């Protein structure tokens, strides 16, 4: 029985995103939604949730179906509410007073520490903010969950918690999940929809297996089209020859036969569709060399909260050229504070941190928060020395930001497009030392793989925070675990 039925669904604004989507979502379905940044995953989820109107087709919910929708970004209106209050307000107004006990029950289900429950969402880590959205959706007892990149900002422990929750309490609730997290998709989905502007493709497998099948299907389609193109050419040539012979010999039969061949060629040609080309744009880095062996030397450094409360102390740490130091630890352990402190040390003296004079910093803040939201990508890139108007357009297009999005304020880019812009700015800085705070958040899978390759190929030196297991395993050379106010280096991720 379908709880949600999509019929010929299509969205063509601001550009063709998807079309002719027909599928059912019913009991047992765990549908992973996979596509490049800006391809329309969030748009599709918003159509399913009734928050956006498709340009074509329909979304039909079976009677009484309640949807729980977890958006990709925290709605600003919630920031001032405490965690408990945010959940309370998600209860249906009619029975709110009687149902209030469920706030505590749901927070227990997500293993929420007592001290966080009355704190405003604005003061919670990104990971807890995301779990708050999930809890808000869950408390209203949805029949189907729509999750837009649920693992973003979650630390490894919380990803495990989320996976356990999906396999446990939420195991009977069908889900549609947009995600770029390969490990999570494999663990939590059983169907995969690759969203495409032409023909989207649906597989009854989790991401990894589906990706293999997609590659085979794309290759088979390419071979079929090549074969058909040859056949069309052959039919047209034969038709031409027959027509000439027919005209010369005055044979109506041959001329008719020639027409038939030409018709066949036309019909075959009409079945050819442009092959889907993944055009997410490429992520490139440019790094500068340095002769310094040790780029940053840390001796007896205390990392503290912005209010000055000590978080942890590092007795001794040398970051050498080629080190890719991964900071591991829970949300709120102080990883971002450490990154901020290192960043400050590259600009001004900081006690306990010795920075090589040859160090050139490339910094990407969490959520690319350092980008000016009110300006357009084009303005930001064109403002770089030596980059004119035309070059800015080409650079942005090459990074996967289409012409229309280039002229839109950064605040109105999709989160993945914003991340790609942040990485392009990084490339233009040509640094020799990278500070990256969750650089792959929101970045699509091809983009993540390119960033991995680039960091490795450039032998980049970096300190990075990431909760993406595959990414960390691929790029990390050293791992620093920050736990309960202590820091220790551990072997492997
Ligand atoms: N606020 C907005 N105003 C105008 N256009 C937008 C806005 N947000 C997104 N778009 C455009 O709509 C298209 C689809 O965006 P959508 O957010 O659905 O993509 P997505 O697949 O979810 O991307 P991501 O992987 O970055 O989350 C993109 O081309 C994007 O540029
Ligand atoms: Mg999105």
Neighbours of 291 (CB within 10 A): 7
Q: Are 295 and 345 in contact (CB under 8 A)?
A: no
39 lines ligand 1 (CB under 6 A): yes
Q: Which residues contact 94 (CB under 8 A, 6 or more apart)?
A: none
Confidence at residue 319, expressed as pLDDT on a 0 to 100 scale? 96
Q: Which residues contact 229 (CB under 8 A, 6 or more apart)?
A: 272
43 CA → ligand 1 middle, Å: 7
Q: Which residues contact 284 (CB under 8 A, 6 or more apart)?
A: 427, 450, 454
347-375 per-position pLDDT tens digit: 999 999 999 999 999 999 888 888 999 99
415 lines ligand 1 (CB under 6 A): yes
Over residues 2-8, the mean pLDDT reads 96
Sheet holding 18-25: strands in order across? 18-25, 4-11, 56-61
Q: What is the mean pLDDT of the chain?
A: 91
Confidence at residue 272, expressed as pLDDT on a 0 to 100 scale? 78
45 lines ligand 1 (CB under 6 A): no
Does residue 80 carry a pLDDT above 60? yes
- Report d(CA 193, CA 204) in Å as an integer: 9
272 CA → ligand 1 middle, Å: 29
Q: Which of 315, 322, 313 is nearest to 295 (CA)?
A: 322
Over residues 190-213, the mean pLDDT reads 96
Ligand at minimal distance from the CA of 33 is 1
Q: Which atom of ligand 1 is nearest to the CA of 444?
A: 25
Place of tokens 């709605």: 75
* Three-state secondary structure call for residue 4: strand
Of 12, 16, 34, 42, best ligand 1 pocket probe by most atoms within 8 Å of the beta carbon: 42
250 by Cβ neighbours in 10 Å (0-12 / 13-18 / 19+) ranks as: exposed
Confidence at residue 369, expressed as pLDDT on a 0 to 100 scale? 86
Read off the pLDDT band of 280 (50, 70, 90).
low
Confidence at residue 46, expressed as pLDDT on a 0 to 100 scale? 96
Confidence at residue 153, expressed as pLDDT on a 0 to 100 scale? 86
Q: Which atom of ligand 1 is nearest to the CA of 35?
A: 21
* Helix (H) or strand (E) segment spanning residue 264: helix 252-271
Confidence at residue 465, expressed as pLDDT on a 0 to 100 scale? 93
Confidence at residue 281, expressed as pLDDT on a 0 to 100 scale? 77
Read off the pLDDT band of 180 (50, 70, 90).
very high
- Report d(CA 306, CA 340) in Å as an integer: 10
Over residues 50-68, the mean pLDDT reads 95
* Three-state secondary structure call for residue 311: strand
196 CA → ligand 1 middle, Å: 14
Does residue 99 carry a pLDDT above 80? yes
Over residues 448-459, the mean pLDDT reads 91
Per-residue DSSP letter, 293: S
Judged by phi (left if over 0) then psi (alpha if -120 to 50, else beta), residue 298 lies in: beta
Does residue 72 carry a pLDDT above 80? yes
- Report d(CA 445, CA 451) in Å as an integer: 10
Over residues 480-485, the mean pLDDT reads 88
440 lines ligand 1 (CB under 6 A): no
159 CA → ligand 1 middle, Å: 25
363 lines ligand 1 (CB under 6 A): no
């Amino acid at each position: 029985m379908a709880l949600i039925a999509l019929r010929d669904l299509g969205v063509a604004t601001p550009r063709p995103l998807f079309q002719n989507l027909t599928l059912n979502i019913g009991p047992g379905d765990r549908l992973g939604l996979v596509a490049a940044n800006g391809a329309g995953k969030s748009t599709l989820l918003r159509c399913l949730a009734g928050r956006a109107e498709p340009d074509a087709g329909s979304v039909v919910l079976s009677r009484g179906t309640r949807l729980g929708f977890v958006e990709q970004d925290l709605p600003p209106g919630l920031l001032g509410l405490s965690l408990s209050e945010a959940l309370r307000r998600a209860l249906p107004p009619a029975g709110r007073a009687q149902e209030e006990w469920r706030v505590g029950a749901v927070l227990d289900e997500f293993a929420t520490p007592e001290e966080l429950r009355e704190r405003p969402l604005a003061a919670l880590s990104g990971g807890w903010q995301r779990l708050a959205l999930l809890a808000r959706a869950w408390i209203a007892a949805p029949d189907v969950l729509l999750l837009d990149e649920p693992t973003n900002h979650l630390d490894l422990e919380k990803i495990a918690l989320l996976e356990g929750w999906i396999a446990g309490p939420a195991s009977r609730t069908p889900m549609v999940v947009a995600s770029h997290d390969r490990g999570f998709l494999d663990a939590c989905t059983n169907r995969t929809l690759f969203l495409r502007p032409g023909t989207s493709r649906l597989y009854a497998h989790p991401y990894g297996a589906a990706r293999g099948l997609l590659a085979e299907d794309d290759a088979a389609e390419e071979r079929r089209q090549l074969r058909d193109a040859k056949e069309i050419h052959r039919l047209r040539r034969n038709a031409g020859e027959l027509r000439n012979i027919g005209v010369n010999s005055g044979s109506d039969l041959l001329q008719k036969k020639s027409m038939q061949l030409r018709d066949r060629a036309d019909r075959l040609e009409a079945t050819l569709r442009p092959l889907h080309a993944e055009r997410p744009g490429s992520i490139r880095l440019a790094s500068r060399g340095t002769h310094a062996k040790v780029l940053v030397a840390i001796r007896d450094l205390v990392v503290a909260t912005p209010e000055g409360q000590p978080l942890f102390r590092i007795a001794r740490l040398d970051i050498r050229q080629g080190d890719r130091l991964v900071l591991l630890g829970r949300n709120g352990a102080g990883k971002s504070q450490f990154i901020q402190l290192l960043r400050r040390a590259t600009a001004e003296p900081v006690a306990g941190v010795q920075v090589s004079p040859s160090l050139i910093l490339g910094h990407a803040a969490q959520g690319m928060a350092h980008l000016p939201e009110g300006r357009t990508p084009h303005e930001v890139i064109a403002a770089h020395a030596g980059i004119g108007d035309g070059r800015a357009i080409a650079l942005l297009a090459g990074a996967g930001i289409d012409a229309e999005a280039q002229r839109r304020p950064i605040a109105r880019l999709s989160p993945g497009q914003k991340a790609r812009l942040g990485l392009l700015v990084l490339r233009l800085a040509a640094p020799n030392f990278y500070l990256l705070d969750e650089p792959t958040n929101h970045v699509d899978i091809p983009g993540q793989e390119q960033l991995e390759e680039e960091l490795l190929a450039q032998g980049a030196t970096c300190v990075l925070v990431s909760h993406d297991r595959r990414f960390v395993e691929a790029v990390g050379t050293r791992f620093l675990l920050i736990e309960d106010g202590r820091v220790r280096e551990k072997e492997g991720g």
